[in-house]
C-alpha cells in the first residue's frame, strides 16, 4: 500500500510532538505532512495537503474538531480523534470517525486505529480506480461571525486585503468579510482559477473581460470592476491570461 498522508491538529505543541514521534516510530505506513494548533490553520493545512488521514484534537482553543469538520461540505479525509476527555466519543463516531484515542495515547491503540484507517483508505482508493474519478472540491468554506459559509469558486469575483481581514466580493453583489489574511485565502483558492495580481488583490480569471495596457496595467472583471495589476506581476499575469483565453 502507498503511504498514508496525514496531518496532526492539536492545540498543544507538546501533544503534536509526542504523537508525531509515536507515528514515526510505530506506524511506518503514515507520513505526517504538516501540523496545526488551531482550527483556522488546520483548515488551511487540510486544503493545502489534501490528506488521507487527520489526527484531530477535539478541543481547539475555543473551537472543536467538530467545528473544523463542519467547514468542509464534503469531508474527503478519514479522521482519528485524539482527546483527554471520554464524553465526546458518541459525537465523534456520529462524525464518522475511524477511531477515538484517549490521551495519553498508547502504542497499541494507535496502531489499531491506524490499521483501521489503512483498511478504509485502501478500499476507497480501489473504488476510485475502478468506479469513480477522484473527488474534486468546487467550494470554499469561509469563516464568518455567524458561522461558515460555503461558496462555489465560480461565484467569487475577487478577494481584497483589509488589514488582518479579507473581503470576498461575489458575483451576486455580496461582500463577505473573513478573519483571514489574503495570503491564507490564497492557499485555499485553486491557482488554476485565481491569480494574485496585486499584494492586496486576488481575482477569478474566469470573470476577466478585458485587460487595459498602460504604465499601470488594469484588469476589468464582470460588472465593470477594475483592479490594478502590480508592475512586478504584470508579465507573469499576461502569460497566465493567454492560457485562459
The share of the chain scoring above pLDDT 90, in percent, equals: 62
Query: Is the confidence at residue 238, as pLDDT, over 90?
Result: no
Tell me, yes or no, whether 36 and 123 share the same domain. yes
The string of DSSP letters for 9-77 reads E-S-HHHHHHHHHHHHHH-TTEEEEEEESSHHHHHHHHHHH--SEEEEESEETTEEHHHHHHT-SS--S
Nine-digit cell string for 166: 479579507
**112 and 45 in one domain?**
yes
pLDDT at res. 213: 87
Domain holding 121: CATH number?
3.40.50.2300
Residue 191 DSSP class: T
With pLDDT > 70 as the criterion, what percentage of the chain qualifies?
93
143 assigned to some structural domain: no
Range in 62-76, 79-93, 101-115, 221-235 the model is least confident about? 79-93
Question: Are residues 178 and 185 in contact, defined by beta-carbon separation less than 8 angstroms?
Answer: yes
Last residue of a domain, one of 130, 161, 176: 130
Do 62 and 9 reside in the same domain of the chain? Answer: yes
Quote the number of domains for the chain: 2
Amino acid at each position: 500500500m502507498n503511504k498514508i498522508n496525514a496531518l496532526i491538529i492539536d492545540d498543544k505543541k507538546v501533544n503534536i510532538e509526542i504523537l508525531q514521534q509515536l507515528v514515526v516510530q510505530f506506524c511506518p505506513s503514515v507520513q505526517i505532512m504538516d501540523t496545526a494548533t488551531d482550527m483556522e490553520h488546520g483548515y488551511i493545512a487540510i486544503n493545502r495537503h489534501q490528506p488521507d488521514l487527520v489526527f484531530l484534537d477535539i478541543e481547539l482553543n475555543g473551537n472543536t474538531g467538530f467545528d473544523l469538520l463542519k467547514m468542509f461540505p464534503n469531508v474527503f479525509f478519514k479522521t482519528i480523534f485524539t482527546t483527554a476527555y471520554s464524553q465526546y466519543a458518541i459525537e465523534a463516531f456520529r462524525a464518522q470517525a475511524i477511531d477515538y484515542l484517549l490521551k495519553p495515547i498508547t502504542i497499541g491503540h494507535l496502531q489499531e486505529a491506524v490499521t483501521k484507517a489503512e483498511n478504509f483508505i485502501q478500499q476507497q482508493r480501489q473504488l476510485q480506480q475502478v468506479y469513480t474519478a477522484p473527488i474534486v472540491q468546487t467550494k470554499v468554506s469561509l469563516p464568518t461571525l455567524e458561522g461558515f459559509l460555503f461558496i462555489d469558486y465560480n461565484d467569487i469575483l475577487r478577494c481584497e486585503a483589509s488589514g488582518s481581514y479579507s473581503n470576498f466580493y461575489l458575483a451576486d453583489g455580496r461582500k463577505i468579510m473573513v478573519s483571514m489574511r489574503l495570503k491564507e485565502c490564497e492557499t485555499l483558492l485553486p491557482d488554476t482559477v485565481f491569480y494574485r495580481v496585486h499584494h492586496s488583490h486576488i481575482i477569478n480569471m474566469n470573470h476577466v473581460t478585458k485587460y487595459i495596457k498602460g504604465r499601470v496595467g488594469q484588469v476589468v472583471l464582470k460588472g465593470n470592476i477594475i483592479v490594478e495589476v502590480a508592475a512586478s506581476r504584470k508579465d507573469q499575469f499576461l502569460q497566465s491570461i493567454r492560457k485562459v483565453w
